[in-house]
Chains A and B, each alone.
Chain A
Amino acid sequence: MPFDFSHESFRQARHERNQLFTVRPEFVEGLIPSFSNNPILIRILLTDMKSSLAKVCFKLILLVLLYVPGMGSAEDTAAPSDFAIAISKLATASMQEREAAVQQLISLKAPRTLPILQGLLDGQLYKLREGDKLVLAKQQDTGFSLVDAASGDDLGIKESTDIQKIPLNNSLRARLRKSLGNLQLNSTETAIRIEAVKAIAKVLDEESLQLLRDRLAIEQETIVQDQIRLVLALEQLNSTTKSPRIDAINLLKNHPTQEVVNRLNTLVEKDDEGNYLETDSDVRNKAKTALAAINSKISLYSGIETLFFGLSLGAVLVLSAIGLAITFGVMGVINMAHGELMMLGAYTTYVMQQLMPNQLGAAVLLSIPAAFVISALTGIGIERGIIRFLYGRPLETLLATFGVSLVLQQTVRSIFSPLNRSVATPEFMSGAWQINDFLALTWNRFYILIFCLLVFALLLQILQRTRLGLEVRAVAQNRNMAKAMGIPTDWVDAMTFGLGSGIAGVAGVALSQITNVGPNLGQSYIVDSFMVVVFGGVGNLWGTLLAGFSLGIANKLLEPAAGAVLAKILVLVFIILFIQKRPRGLFPQKGRAAEN
């Protein structure tokens, strides 16, 4: 570190200089922030120069006052105006010129480069509609809080109509990511440095290799050092002598990433005539054994991945079927409107998000009780209004509830339009849990799996431990006997149906996170739900759970080999055959209750 230039001493210098030349304060926009280990970079933005004499004197003084090693003086004088030009180009130019402007900003290495480029990549770089001033904007409750991109000054809060976003395309985005990776290599945060090294590893070229070597020389943290060594080992494989290559393979073997696998694969490739491209047999054999070791790990990971996919598909099936397991399984009502009750739950999530646009996560959580109440009330309404007149007449119940499902669909269509509604995924549910390069579990599926198990456990508790549960089971076993014992069967019917419907609503909240929220949402799940309940054994919640998960896993095991369409057909065929053999499903009810 040559010498530290504190904010205080800079202000002092500026103050003295201002007194000397009586220039206006906005004459100089001083910029201090630095990239940690680099020499402090100081750039002066000259916005308005009236007197050329003052300009010359000013520059002389500046050179004396502010000269810091590591910066060319010629570049220094050119930089401010270049910076201003690049900034204005970024705001107004076409997409091609914008790329050039970004390039220029990067090569200038101005202190504001990093925040501007980061803002551009994150979609926070806007320009004012009046005057094309470049600003960084963050959405607030009341509007957008703006910061002048060039200077970092706070510009207060503006309406969204006052600003216009700077658009990006993919090639620019890729370039930004790479440049930011290069810049972030010198971040003070260890985690950011590691991420930067990983990002660079994906797009290795001579320039970035040099950056990594430079960084390795001054890097203190061993984790970052190791990470850099791994990336450099990839390069080391290109060496002309044998021993560094063998060393590199040995190192890489224990840290498998996708890049390592790809690189090692090139070492064991054959050309069209069946000869190895790699001439050195020792290196080749070493690479082969390394690959074999890595591949066995990868196949283990992909096994875990498939299992997770199956479980999460199963969780969705269980969630959508478990409400039905109560209404159909316990009460014996074929409720074709079950899917529409899920749809109501999904729309509840949408409405909650509309009501709380700034707390999407909380809105989703609050939707769970709200959806339960709304779907349960609708369910009770259906039961009291229609189904109770049709007990013991399954065909009529089926027709009537099918009618109800159409009515509900059309109602939603009239209120919310036939178009799908967009339900945002809250931050904590998006993205994936990246365990390593070959295994990542998506958060939304993960939460839904846990949610499914929670709902199941809760429902089981209700049925096993509460008075309502006891009465429900009693009515399910023998209605007349229950009535004789003083159980209000009418009330129990309504409550049971409400419970099943409410669970459907809760399932709808979960579905809103993974699929379309539209009037047809329910239709796509109703058949699957019945399938799960019938397969699991009517009237048995554990059967539903097991059936849902096993169908999910079976589907996912078949899918890679058979394709999505055929996998579904195979599962259906299997269920049909299974029902032939065991008409009462996986867990048939036993005892006298089953005879009815």
Chain B
Amino acid sequence: MKKLLKKVSHLAAAVALATSALGAGQAQAEDTIKVGVLHSLSGTMAISETTLKDTMLMMIDEQNKKGGLLGKKLEAVVVDPASNWPLFAEKARELLTKDKVAAVFGCWTSVSRKSVLPVFEELNGLLFYPVQYEGEESSKNVFYTGAAPNQQAIPAVDYLMNDLKVKRWVLAGTDYVYPRTTNKILEAYLKAKGVSKKDIMINYTPFGHSDWQSIVADIKKFGSTGKKTAVVSTINGDANVPFYKELGNQGVKAEEIPVVAFSVGEEELSGIDTKPLVGHLAAWNYFMSEDSTKNAAFIKQWQDFIKNPKRVTNDPMEAHYIGFNMWVKAVEKAGSTDPAKVQEAIIGVEVPNLTGGVAKMLPNHHISKPVLIGEIQDDGQFTTVWQTNKVVDGDAWSDFLPESKPIIADWTAPISCGNYNTKTKKCSGQN
């Protein structure tokens, strides 16, 4: 009943928004380039996605101040898919057919990306997806500016294994596609490294889980055998707060059982009292605390734009920063916003990232990124304790899963395929 009501209300909201967006669109002058922003502004994901919407508005605003693109002003078209996965697809279709946007920046959860994927492929649109994800995908129409597993999960495990000498592993995650796939890859990777099955504990919890007592007690027991233990956490969003609180209360110290998280960034930490978490780890490709001139300028620009000197920046924001700059460069290179031309032009485009390096768009539509591992400090920031000495290329299909090992993605001629089997030399239509 509640679900149904929710749907009805979402639909009503969607209709209202659509009409208002339509009205606004007609009022605008014709010679603008439209950029779609597809992030949830209400519902459970609003907490994370609202920030990305604001980031896009800031980037577009800045580009317009620089004189726009190809002599035209950019115009943001913001829609609200309301954390409702099917609505993502409807909104994407609306952006591409009604508003005729040149590119869309959006989505957070993998399930929302999977939902819009057929729409972008059917209508040949461009989607820039800014969040770390589980891999095993490469679409002609999607550019993955977040981290693939080999740019986040695998290096983090390597760090724990080599630097912290971890012998026992807890893979804890929220029960949905990203943690399940990531943990599948990690389990295969750990086993390949000689970790026995009894030294791996896998645990899934529902979205928004709040009672972590027994799980934390189990982790404590699992880690008390004398062998160094670490928790690799793919726990999503909200559920992290009670999880970390429980860790702190049960006295699980970072020196004894460190937790390395893939979904906890500065933004999430700003809602937590971080004192009990000091020393726990996170693996990202960007930290707000990174010391570079580009980053300092970006933070200042963001805090000025949002008019709050305490607002933090985070990794997906950097991904949008890179993605947007890549798109701008590709459009300038192609001299057109035509998706087909941009798709061709963008491969090989290099733009500076915020950590002082260079990000490059690869033929598999992923980008190169440095991998950073940071420890949580009591001011809610990270101190980088380890980083790769050069950027790592994103790998769409994991080499650690037997079924995807022979598969590569390459959108340049002559392969031009997102799912190419190097053994059978065949391109599967599936992305």
Contacts and interface: CB of A to CB of B under 8 A. Distances in A.
Contacts of B279: 168-170, 173
A145 B210 CA distance: 38
Nearest to A263: B226
A565 B207 CA distance: 10
Contacts of A418: 41-42, 46-47, 50
B206 A564 contact: yes
Interface in B33-49: 41-42, 44, 46-47
A123 B5 CA distance: 50
A440 B46 contact: no
Contacts of A165: 377, 379
B213 A406 contact: no
Interface residues of A, number: 60
A421 interface: yes
B375 A514 contact: no
B211 A313 contact: yes
Contact of A514 (B242, B267, B271): B242
A95 B208 CA distance: 36
Nearest to B378: A123
Contact of A167 (B245, B255, B273, B377): B377
Interface stretch (A375-383, A425-433, A484-492): A425-433
B401 interface: no
Interface in B346-404: 375, 377-379, 383, 385
Given A123-B278, A418-B46, A432-B249, A170 B375 contact: yes
Contact of B214 (A95, A443, A518, A560): A560
A425 B208 contact: no
Contact of A565 (B1, B205, B218, B272): B205
Contact of A169 (B175, B238, B385): B385
A407 to B, nearest CB: 11
A442 B254 contact: no
A420 interface: yes
Nearest to B251: A432
Contacts of B410: none
Of A168, A170, A265, A402, most buried by chain B (CB within 10 Å of CB) is A170
B225 interface: yes
B9 interface: yes
Contacts of A296: none
Given A419-B267, A419-B270, A565-B204, A431 B214 contact: no
Contact of A434 (B204, B226, B248, B251): B251
Given A169-B385, A432-B250, A524-B210, A419 B245 contact: no
A316 B243 CA distance: 16
Interface string B261-285: 0000001001111001011000000
Given A165-B379, A422-B273, A442-B249, A170 B224 contact: no
A432 B220 CA distance: 14
Contacts of B224: 258, 262
Contact of B271 (A259, A398, A516, A556): A516
B246 interface: yes
A434 B175 CA distance: 32
B215 interface: yes
A309 B215 contact: no
B156 to A, nearest CB: 14
A262 B271 CA distance: 38
B213 A442 contact: yes
Given A406-B9, A520-B238, A420 B47 contact: yes
Interface string A89-103: 000000100000000
B251 A440 contact: yes
Interface string A394-409: 0000110010001000
A438 to B, nearest CB: 9
A95 B258 CA distance: 19
B252 to A, nearest CB: 10
B63 interface: no
A444 B212 CA distance: 13
B114 interface: no
Given A313-B211, A518-B238, A559-B214, A95 B385 contact: yes
Given A420-B47, A422-B271, A425-B245, A170 B255 contact: yes
Nearest to A442: B249
A520 B251 CA distance: 28
Contacts of A421: 271
A423 interface: yes
B2 interface: yes
Contacts of B246: 442
Nearest to A309: B213
B289 to A, nearest CB: 9
A177 interface: yes
Contacts of A177: 255
Contacts of B278: 123, 168
Nearest to B279: A170
B203 interface: yes
B217 A305 contact: yes
Contacts of B245: 425, 444, 514
Contacts of B251: 431-432, 434, 440
A531 to B, nearest CB: 13
B148 interface: no
Interface string B399-420: 0000000000000000000000
A143 interface: no
Nearest to A95: B385
Interface in B215-263: 215, 217-218, 224-226, 238, 241-242, 245-246, 248-251, 254-255, 258
A424 B276 CA distance: 11
A312 B248 CA distance: 17
A430 B248 contact: yes
Contact of B206 (A336, A434, A568): A568
Contact of A425 (B42, B226, B273): B273
A215 interface: no
Contact of B255 (A174, A265, A520, A560): A174
B113 interface: no
Nearest to A445: B213
A128 B42 CA distance: 44
A509 B237 CA distance: 22
A563 interface: yes
Given A313-B211, A565-B206, A167 B383 contact: yes
A422 B270 contact: yes
Contacts of B218: 560
Contacts of B378: 123
B210 A520 contact: no
A306 interface: yes
A312 B213 CA distance: 9
Given A167-B383, A173-B254, A419-B47, A563 B214 contact: no
Given A419-B270, A564-B209, A169 B375 contact: yes
A413 interface: yes
A420 B248 contact: no
28 contacts: A95-B383, A168-B383, A169-B383, A170-B254, A262-B226, A313-B213, A316-B211, A413-B42, A418-B47, A418-B50, A419-B270, A420-B47, A425-B245, A425-B273, A430-B249, A431-B251, A442-B213, A442-B250, A444-B245, A445-B213, A514-B242, A514-B245, A515-B210, A518-B271, A556-B214, A560-B218, A563-B203, A564-B209
Given A430-B276, A440-B250, A565-B204, 18 more contacts: A165-B377, A170-B164, A170-B385, A173-B279, A177-B255, A398-B1, A419-B47, A422-B270, A422-B271, A434-B251, A440-B251, A442-B246, A443-B249, A514-B242, A516-B242, A556-B214, A563-B203, A564-B206
Closest CB pairs A-B (n = 8): A420-B271, A442-B249, A262-B226, A174-B255, A515-B210, A309-B213, A418-B46, A564-B205
